[in-house]
Every structure is written in structure tokens, then in C-alpha cells.
Structure 1
């Protein structure tokens, strides 16, 4: 397999480590090379100066032998007079030709230098003037320049070590990163096999609890959620098509019958039946659009809402088959979308009116950090086995179909989705008689006006009387009273 460093994390990491190692080791290698060269040169000069100083003292006393014994490694020693004549020399030094033409000045008697007579033949020398006198002789001591200083062998050795270290670092990184990414490759290969038609496959989870293992676990959880969502969408599409097909089929049959048998079919009755079927289709489509909007981003930001006022106003404004009473505590402030909450209340009230025998009771109370809106009817109630099932889409119990044949079966499902979108919940709770639907929503801090005064949707309660509050909240002329605990109670009109 051909790996491109731009596409392969493994190659990029190996290249990065190689470059980093090369830069660092090159700097260390250059420093090491300079340090070794300086150390060898300094040690050589120090040794040559020691030997030259020793024979300089002997030369000043006049006891220098013709053949000077050498001191390893300093094997080049000469005593030269003012006329560059060799007075005494070591065995390895010339007896006639001086080692150097350099004569230290009287004010700087010690000289260290490297003299090259031809390329590749250099001498490390120390020249010491015997006295400051003009006719003073000079002592030379030194040796051929060491290979460390005269050649590039040291640089070659250091370079080879750097290259080997960089290669080992790059190879080690390649192997380790490849071993680390092996589970990722297995995950990638498995994900490439997963299709929308088959989401049952899961990625392999490597041993351990590192980041890659957590990634695999998260991927499997996501796949499980995705499989459930797709399966739910499939069931929803199947159920929706069935629910839409039924009224469409009935409508088509009635219209075809009217066309085929115009003399036997009452056209007005056909039109009325077609309109009823159209109303059912419209209700289903509207509910489907509402479900789609709930899953889309909310175009308007949430607002602070006094739940007691909202419920009381909505119950007071809705006509019903049976009387509906409401007891709403004030100053229960939530954050949400007014029209969506009204949709929930309308669904719950319509459901309660459909099943109630004689009365519907609505309460708004505080339960800890939650506001609870309870809609209770005195009808037959909901069996515990069906309390969750009725919130599924298009699910309608027999009693509901009998009481409202034109319903879409989406009202409670939409209401629960709205409750969840407001970080709350909607469920059926136990009740001594009938059904009790409880909407629970989280409370926020007490609502304030721009001036900082407590209020309900802009009505500062401390600045208005009970009559004014009653008129603002009700505004329909229906009887109401304000209790001592500031609980608002609204009663339906009597016959």
C-alpha cells in the first residue's frame, strides 16, 4: 500500500519525529564536535607549553644537550638561536631546519599556533622566547596536528551517529503509531461496511480504556441510537402512510362511486363526506408539520412566562362540552415558547373534554423546583397498561376512536415532544376518578420587570389591586375571585 505523508497520520508523525530528532541531534552533534576539538587542542597546547617551558629554563642555563630527549606525545623539540640556527633538537625534529619562522616578541614571549607548511601537514607548536633581549633564542615544542583536528573523521562519526539515531527514532515512531492506529483502521473498515439498510453492525472495541477505546464505545452508542432512530422513522413512515392511505382511499371510492353512478348517489352527501375526509387529512398533515417543526431549530428565543396566568387565560377562553374550572397559583415563572405551550394545553383540554362526564378540573401548582399543570376529567380514565402507549404516534384507543373518529392520533405525541423540548415531561398520573394528565416544567427565578419589580408578564402585582388583576388576567367577564393566598381561581359560567 502506498502511503502519502499528507494523508497518513503514521507517516506525518514519523516525519515529524525524524525532523525534530535531526534538528536536536544536529545541534547536539555540532556542540559535541566543537567541544571535542577545543578539548584536544587545549590539551595539546598545554602539554607542548609544559615541555617548552621546561627546556626554556635549561636553555637559559646553557646546559642543553645536542640531542634533546622527547616526551610523549611531544616529540618535536628545538632550540633555535637568533639567526634561525638549530642549537639542539629532538630525534624527530630536524637538526638543521627550524620548525617554524615565528619569533615571539619581547613583550609576549609565549606563542601558541598551528603552522601548516602544506595541506594536510600541520604542526601544533608552542614558541617561547628565552629572554626579552634582542639576541634571545627560541624554544619550539610541538607535534603533528592530531587526526581529530586535521581531518573530518570526528564529524563523520557524529553524523553517522545522528543519522542512525534519527532512523531508529523514525522507525520506532512508525511502528508505535501504526500499532496505536491499528484499532482505528479496524473501526474505519467496520464503519465502511455499515449502511443505512443495515445498522446492526458495531465497531470493534480495543482492550483498555484509552481514548481509542472510548471512541469505539461512543461510536457503538451512536450507532445504537442511530439504529433506533432509523427504525423509529421507518415505523413512523409506515404508520403515516397507512393513516394517510385510509382517508384517501375512502375519499377516492366515494368520488368514483359518484362519477360512475350519478343517478344513485346524492352529490351533496358525497361532497359533505369528501369534506370530512379532507378535514381529517388536513389535521394529520398539520400535526405532521408540527412534529417536523419541533425537531427543527426554534426560530424564536424562549420567553419568561407566568404559567398560572397562561393556563387560566387559556382555560377561560376555551368553550367546552362540560364546564372546566381552574385553580392557578401565581408567580410560577417558566422559560418557554408561548404558542407551543398553548398547543399542549389545547390538546390536554380537548382530550379531557372528549372523555369527561360532567366536569374538567385544571390546577397549576408548585412541586419543588417544578411547576405542575394537571388536567383531570371524571371520565373512564386510562388503564395503567395504556398510559405510555397513548403517547405514541397514531395510537388511538377504542374509546377515543368512538368519541372522536376524525382525530389524527398525534396530539398527545406532539404534546409530549413539546414538554421534552421545554426540559419537562408529560405523563398520566394516578387519579381517584377519570384521567389525570400532569405537565411538569422547570421553574426559573421570579419574573422581573425592567425596573426590577416582581411581575407577571409585565403586571406589577404590588401596584395593582385585586379587581385590576382579575380584569387583566381574565378579561372576559367570566366570574373569578382572588383568594387570600393569592391563588387565582376561575370558575366556568353556570347554565
Structure 2
């Protein structure tokens, strides 16, 4: 585009200047013709008129007078040189086809002609050379061509430098992306250390914003890969823990069944055989129930992760806490159980059975993992748009070694996995999954002598206020 513009400007400039020079040449011809008129007589010859008229060098004159046809021109040294008959005839032939045009003489070059006619058949043909006009236009075109070519070369060099410097950040982005693309990201512990240099990720430019966006993307990908690795490690630990939990009851079932078979093979009718078989069947049943409970807990977690298993309705957390504390008091008479609820019921939208499971689990943990005499306080209250259920105890607190993984699956305070200290280690994981399925939060704040588990659930505006029943009984009693 720049080349086209420059060439167009050069051609336009040459055309305009050529037109101006052509006009000036016509004016010079007119002046030369006027000077010829001043010195022309009926008997003059061309050389006489040019000698007297002080014409400019290069002036050409052909006359027809009573003296006949004559022609001459003024040389560079201002001398007058006569034209021969052949040259005069050539000029006559040229003006017959194109009066007032141009003629090219073999030794003199091209001339612009002007014809003036007089009475009695006389005429004067005045000409000036066009070599100066052609030379001037040629110089202009050559200058324009050289300037255009030089300007284009300089412009191309400047544009190349500017584009190269402008695209340097983009090359850095491409190089970074190429290096990242060559990394093995499919599996294993992968970290992405490659980043676009800060100097090439300037957010003030478009390409810099691309570099900054790539760095942000790589940060997110790195975090995702780290999370994937953590999930893989947790999955491996989960499979190992689940295998361990299932292996124990399966081993018990196999051992008791083999023991019963051996007794039957030895003496099926012996009284001790029947007693051993009955005891073995009872243990097999107990282990089967334990294994069934474990599988059901795992299935519940899977369904909660998929957003299933919940049946929503209006749930009175106050009544739920009363029932859960009553059950816990019966199961742990050696603990002190306290209840702190308001006069008005706290109603949320949720699954009553699953929320009762959460409360029972928290109270069971407080009973199992604290010594006798510990005071456990259950509180239900409203906090803004949230309903809060807190279980507080003054026991020894959560072991700092497992504080970060307290809500993970198969997380257990007893590393020896002793059966008397609890179940499979899925209780708090299930409780958190249930609370999260209700769009709530389950958190813990623990230090020696002060441990609080807090369940925070959103209050359903439509169900939060007590409703008057048709028969006039209390709304709280209806719930």
C-alpha cells in the first residue's frame, strides 16, 4: 500500500510538472513567434530573421515568403545554421499530418512546433526543442523512483524491526507453550515450572495480556495437576483402607466357616460341635453385618457425591437435637449431656433422617473420643440466614496429627484401628457429605479442653417461620 501510494504520488507529480513545463514551452513558442513577426518582411529568409531577432539557442524557423522556402535554427553557440531541403521537407510533411505538433529531426532531436499563417500564402513555422522538457521530467521520475525505492527499503527495515520487537513477547509465549506441551502431564506427580517471563507478560499490551493469561492458565493447570495427584493418592489410600476394612470381616467369616466345617467333619453329632457351629454362625452374621454397614456407607458417600439420596422437607433442628441428645445420653451415661436451644423452633429445608445421622455422628464422636465425665453441650440457634448446630465438649481435643484429614474417608483417631474406639472411619466424611449436599458447611475448632463441631445450614425462608395449623395446636408441636 505504501509503495502504491508513493508510486501514485510520483506519477501524479511527474504528470502535473510535465503539464506545467509543456505550458511554459508553449508560452516560449509564442514569444519566439512574436519576435519573428517583429523582424519578418515579405522577402526575408529564415536565417536572416534568426540572425536579426536574437532568438534563444535551439530555436527553429521555417519560412515561406516571396524568396521561397527556407529554414534555419540557432545553435548552442548562438550561430544560425541553415536547414537543407530534406530537413525542410521532413518538417513540412510532419505539420501536414499534425499541425502544431512535434517533429523529430535526425541530428537535432524532437521539436515542438507552432505554425503562423499570413496573407498571400506566407507562413512561419517556429519550433523549440523538447529535450529540456524530457530531461526535466526524466530527472523527476528518476528522483521519485529512487526516493520511493529507498523509502520502501527503509520502511521495510523499520517495519521488520518494529514487528520483530512487537512479536518478541508472542515468541516467548509460543516457546513457553512448546516447552509445556513437551512435558509428560498424563500421570504421576507433575509440576509445571515453565512460565512466560514477567518482562514479556506486560498486561498493558495485547500480546502481554496473552502472556499473562497463559501464566494464569499454567498456574491453574499446575494446581489442577497437584489436586489430581492428591486425589490419586487419596484414592489409593481409600482403596487400601477399604480393602483393609473388608479384609477383616472376610477373614473372620472364612475362619469361622472353616472351623465349623472341621467340627462337622470330625463328629457332626457331638454337642460341642453344635455349640461351636452356633457360635461361628453368630460371628459370621456379626461380621457380615459389619461388612454390610461398610458397603452401605460407601454407597451412601457415592450417592451423596452424585447429589442423590436426599429427600427434602421441613426439618426442626431443635427437635432433632433433643432426640439425638436423648439417644446419646442413653448410650453414654458416664458423660454429662447438656442442651441449649431457644423457645422458637429452628426450621430448615432438608432430609430429616440424614440430618439426624449428622447430629448422632457428632455426638457419638464426642462420646467415644472423650473420657468419662466430659461435658458435651449441643446448641441450636439462628445466625442471620443460617441455622447453626454446635456440639461442644471439654475433652482433650482433636489430635493435631489428624486435624487436617479429620473429614477424609477412613480418617481415624486410633491408628491401631481398634474396633472398640469406633467404626470404619467414614462417619465424619459422611456427615460432611450430607451437610454439603444441603448446601451447608461442617467445620471444627479444637484445642485441649475446647472442641466445637459446627454445622451451618441455610434457612429456607418459606419454612423458617412457624405455621398455624388448622386445628389451633402449636406450630412447633406440628413440626
Q: Which residue of 2 aligns with 1:203?
A: 193
Give the deviation of 1:205 after TM superposition: 4.1
- Normalised by the length of structure 1, the TM-score is 0.61
CA distance in 1, matches of 2:6, 2:139: 12
Per-residue deviation, residues 446-488 of structure 1 (Å, max 9, x unmatched): 714xxxxxx53xx664788983402321xxxxxxxxxxxxxxx
Specify whether residues 260 and 222 from structure 1 end up closer, same or farther in structure 2 by C-alpha distance, changes over 3 A only. same
Specify whether residues 432 and 161 from structure 1 end up closer, same or farther in structure 2 by C-alpha distance, changes over 3 A only. closer
Give the deviation of 1:136 after TM superposition: 9.1
Q: Which residue of 1 aligns with 2:26?
A: 52
- Normalised by the length of structure 2, the TM-score is 0.63
Give the deviation of 1:173 after TM superposition: 7.7
Per-residue deviation, residues 63-121 of structure 1 (Å, max 9, x unmatched): 58649536xxxx7x766789xx99676769996345775447xxxxxx9xxx899xxxx
Partner residue of 2:56 out of 60, 63, 69: 69
Partner residue of 1:287 out of 297, 318, 322: 297
Partner residue of 1:320 out of 319, 323, 327: 327
Give the deviation of 1:414 after TM superposition: 2.3
Q: Which residue of 1 aligns with 2:361?
A: 347
Specify whether residues 248 and 299 from structure 1 end up closer, same or farther in structure 2 by C-alpha distance, changes over 3 A only. closer
Partner residue of 1:257 out of 256, 259, 270: 259
1:426 pairs with 2:418: no
Asked whether the 8 Å contact 1:326–1:361 carries over to 2, the reply is: yes
Q: Any idea what SS the aligned residue of 2:239 has?
A: helix
1:415 pairs with 2:431: yes
1:234 pairs with 2:215: no
CA distance in 1, matches of 2:226, 2:28: 92
Give the deviation of 1:241 after TM superposition: 1.8
Greater share of helix: 2
Q: Which residue of 2 aligns with 1:483?
A: none
Asked whether the 8 Å contact 2:358–2:434 carries over to 1, the reply is: yes
Q: Which residue of 2 aligns with 1:478?
A: none
Per-residue deviation, residues 177-211 of structure 1 (Å, max 9, x unmatched): 4444333333333x22x5534x1554334542622
Q: What 5-or-longer segments of structure 1 have no aligned partner?
A: 1-26, 105-110, 449-454, 474-495
CA distance in 1, matches of 2:115, 2:260: 138
1:35 pairs with 2:9: yes
CA distance in 2, matches of 1:469, 1:235: 48
Per-residue deviation, residues 305-346 of structure 1 (Å, max 9, x unmatched): 87xx44235346667263685625758677877776454234
Specify whether residues 91 and 160 from structure 1 end up closer, same or farther in structure 2 by C-alpha distance, changes over 3 A only. same
Q: What 5-or-longer segments of structure 2 have no aligned partner?
A: 40-48, 202-211, 331-336
Q: Any idea what SS the aligned residue of 2:389 has?
A: strand
Asked whether the 8 Å contact 1:79–1:139 carries over to 2, the reply is: yes
Specify whether residues 463 and 469 from structure 1 end up closer, same or farther in structure 2 by C-alpha distance, changes over 3 A only. closer
Q: Which residue of 1 aligns with 2:389?
A: 373
Asked whether the 8 Å contact 1:80–1:138 carries over to 2, the reply is: yes
Give the alignment of 1:262-281 within 5 angstroms: 262=264, 263=268, 264=273, 266-281=276-291
Asked whether the 8 Å contact 2:253–2:287 carries over to 1, the reply is: yes
Asked whether the 8 Å contact 2:398–2:446 carries over to 1, the reply is: no
CA distance in 2, matches of 1:337, 1:66: 125
Give the alignment of 1:98-113 within 5 angstroms: 98=91, 101-103=97-99
Q: Which residue of 1 aligns with 2:250?
A: 248
Q: Which residue of 2 aligns with 1:165?
A: 156
